[in-house]
Amino acid sequence: MGGLDRTWKKKSFNNFLIFFIILINLSFILAASFTGLATEQSSPSNVSVTAFQVIRDTYDGTTSTFIGLNESTLRNMSNVILENSTYGKIKFNSNLDLVTMAESDLIVNFDIDLNISDNLINVYNLNLPGINVSSNISLYGISYTTPQIYHNGVLCSSECSEISYSGGIYKFQVTALSGAYWLRETPASTVCGNGICESGETSTTCPADCTTSSGGGGGGGGGTTTPTNETVTSTPGYDFKIDPSFIQLQMDKGTYYQKLVNVTNNGSNSLTLTLSVEGVENFIFPADLQFSLEPGESKNLRLDVYVSNSRAADVYVGKIYFNSPQVKKSAEVVLQVKETDALFDIRTEVLKKYIPPGGRVRANISLINKGDLRNFDVHLEYKAIGFNKNIYTIKKEDFAIEQYYSNTFFLDLPNNISIGNYIFYAQVSYKNVSASSYDTFIVERISTFSWFLLIFIILLAAYLIYRYYNEKRLRARYEFNKKVQVKKKEQKIRKEIPTEIPKLPDDLE
């Protein structure tokens, strides 16, 4: 009995010890929980948020300090300044709640989500909630005579107001900071009938200055296009070069890009060029709408390219016209706008780049279904499009897709299609979700000389092949005849050799 009693007391003590340890652990857990609640309560406190971080490595100058601040200050921070001493500065006129702006990861990344660069302020508001407050913006290194403020690709008037402009620093105020801001020169007033298609003029409002090529619609309709960099009108001594004359861009929604185009005066006379954009005028904004070039002089023209979040993900084509009274040229543009989280990934690859008028253009189209749904019907539309936005041939198909799909599709071009650059456009859609892609091809006519040259090459190749095999046949016959002659000689020698050795006479034995 004594042994059992001691065993029972020992078990009771062990159980009590275990219970005591569990009770201590629960106390620590509850204490930590209450501490966490204290730092995350809705009302501001003076507890430091140690995990909070503001990333601003690309900023310097008068940029505000965000280190060592308590939660109360971070939730209602006043006079916040972000400056890149090379390009510009933002001063926020209202207090910022940086804790709410940081969201669940407690990180505010100004380096990624707020860009201050050459003549640009670009804010990604989705990752910086609450930043859309009244702000003063300063852009450095500005040389325009009369700058205009552009906001998300549109002239900013009611929401933007100039504060000052001196010493290359243009300062203006915005009512709510959002998206992209940049400056460009105020264009001169347009005059219809001066032979120049200026900004604001179109083929409808001013047909005397702006002309567009005629064209048909879908289903293989006719029409003409202007080949790349074709000179519409030309006067001796007046010429210029555009490099590149074919611009391809691929951008996500809500992004900004700067593209440089070099324009060189190749003529012997000075030129004054006026720019206009058609087809992609909602995306591409030249920094200078008019400039002059002396003979041999070059200029790097900056194109501000901005795609707002409201634009549909698609492929857009158009032209940038460089016009003067003496000579007119254009650069062709294709812009692919992509959805950040697209359901489909579609790729188009033209198999043969050079197609004659009336020929057949083939392309391999590959689809990747990035969603979870399988074995559902999608709609595919593919067509040949010119840079004047004419549709020359169009086809539509429906088929089921699992996760991957790839096939070759073709379009027959009309016989009267003009020489120049075109795109093979493809779009896949399911309900209200779509994705598109493209590839380029060139329509070119084979001349009579080229046909004769091609026929001559074919005949020459046929003759060389015939000669090669004929010589090979003659050589084989010669080798065969040589072997036959050798064999005959060997047989003749064997016949001349006696088969038996003659015996000696008996008397000599």
Model pLDDT for residues 392-407, shown as the tens digit of each residue: 999 999 999 988 999 9
Is 92 among the domain residues? Answer: yes
CA distance linking residue 403 with residue 368, whole number of Å: 6
Domain contains 45:
no
Residue 468 forms part of a structural domain: no
Q: What is the pLDDT of residues 54-106, one digit of tens each?
A: 999 999 999 999 988 898 999 999 999 999 999 999 999 999 999 999 888 88
> Same structural domain for residues 90 and 158?
yes
DSSP symbol at 68: T
Q: Retrieve residue 330's tokens.
A: 């254009």
Structural domain boundaries, residue 98 = 53-185
Query: Rounded distance, CA 262 to CA 332, Å?
Result: 14
Q: Which amino acid is at 56?
A: R
C-alpha 143/C-alpha 74 separation (Å) is 38
- pLDDT tier at 112 (50, 70, 90 boundaries)? confident
HSE value, Cβ hemisphere, 13 Å, CA-based, for 493: 6
pTM above 0.75, yes or no: no
pLDDT in tens, 275-332: 888 999 888 888 888 899 999 999 999 888 888 777 888 999 999 999 999 999 999 9
Q: In CATH, what number is assigned to the domain containing residue 176?
A: 3.30.1610.10
pLDDT of residue 220: 29
**Residue 137 phi, psi (nearest 5):** -115, 135
pLDDT over 50 at 182, yes or no = yes
**pLDDT (0 to 100) of residue 104:** 84
When mean pLDDT is compared across 13-17, 36-40, 337-341, 495-499, the lowest value belongs to 36-40
Q: Specify whether 283 is located in the same domain as 381.
A: yes
- Rg of the chain on CA atoms, in Å: 39
Q: Examine the domain organization and report whether 67 and 152 are in the same domain.
A: yes
Last residue within a domain, chosen from 426, 443, 460: 443
Q: Find, among 94, 34, 84, 33, the residue nearest to 57 by Cα.
A: 84
Q: What are phi and psi of 21, to 5 degrees?
A: -65, -45
Classify burial at 264, counting beta carbons within 10 Å of its beta carbon; exposed 0-12, middle 13-18, buried 19 or more: middle
Quote the CA–CA distance of 458 and 440 in Å, as a whole number: 29
Q: Which of the residue ranges 17-31, 470-484, 488-502 would you say has the lowest mean pLDDT?
A: 17-31
Residues 254 and 174 in one domain: no
Q: Does position 458 have pLDDT exceeding 90, yes or no?
A: no
Q: Is the pLDDT of residue 48 over 60?
A: no
Does a structural domain hold residue 167? yes
Angstrom distance (rounded) from CA 399 to CA 378: 6
Could you tell me if residue 212 is inside a domain? no
Closest CA to 102 of 57, 40, 145, 149: 40
Average the pLDDT over each of 49-63, 99-113, 204-218, 228-242 and give the range with the smallest value.
Answer: 204-218
pLDDT band at 35 (very low <50, low <70, confident <90, very high): very low
- Point out the least confidently predicted range of 248-257, 370-379, 478-487: 478-487
Residues 157 and 247 in one domain: no
- Does residue 227 belong to any structural domain of this protein? no
Are residues 256 and 154 located together in one domain of the fold? no
Q: How much is the pLDDT for 33?
A: 43
**Main-chain dihedrals φ then ψ at residue 444, nearest 5 degrees:** -140, 145
Residue 226, pLDDT score: 36
DSSP secondary structure of 289-318:
SEEEE-TT-EEEEEEEEEE-TTSPSSEEEE
Based on the fold, state whether residues 253 and 370 are members of the same structural domain. yes
Whether residue 293 lies inside any domain: the answer is: yes
Q: Which of 229, 299, 304, 291 is nearest to 259 (CA)?
A: 304
> In this structure, how many other beta carbons lie within 10 angstroms of the beta carbon of residue 73?
16
**353 and 431, same domain (yes or no):** yes
pLDDT of residue 172: 97
In terms of domains, do 276 and 127 share one? no
User: Among residues 185, 212, 228, which one ends one of the domains?
Assistant: 185
Of residues 5 and 373, more confidently modeled: 373
Q: Indicate whether 302 and 368 sit together in one domain.
A: yes
| H or E segment and range at residue 386 | strand 376-386
Residues 170 and 251 in one domain: no
Spatial contact of 110 and 55, defined as CB atoms under 8 Å apart: yes
Q: How many domains does the chain have?
A: 2
Q: Is residue 480 part of a domain?
A: no
pLDDT value at position 224? 31
In angstroms, the CA 103 to CA 345 distance is 30
Say yes or no: 329 and 250 in one domain. yes
Q: What is the pLDDT of residue 498?
A: 61
CATH number for position 260: 2.60.40.10
- Position with higher pLDDT, 187 vs 314: 314
- Residue 499 — pLDDT band, cuts 50, 70, 90? low
| Amino acid at the residue 142 | I
Tens digit of each residue's pLDDT (9 = 90 or more) over 118-145: 888 988 888 899 999 999 999 999 988 8
pLDDT for 100 equals 92
Residue at a domain's end among 405, 428, 443:
443
> According to the model, what pLDDT value does residue 235 have?
79
Task: Tell which residue, 335, 350, 386, 367, has the closest CA to residue 435.
Answer: 367
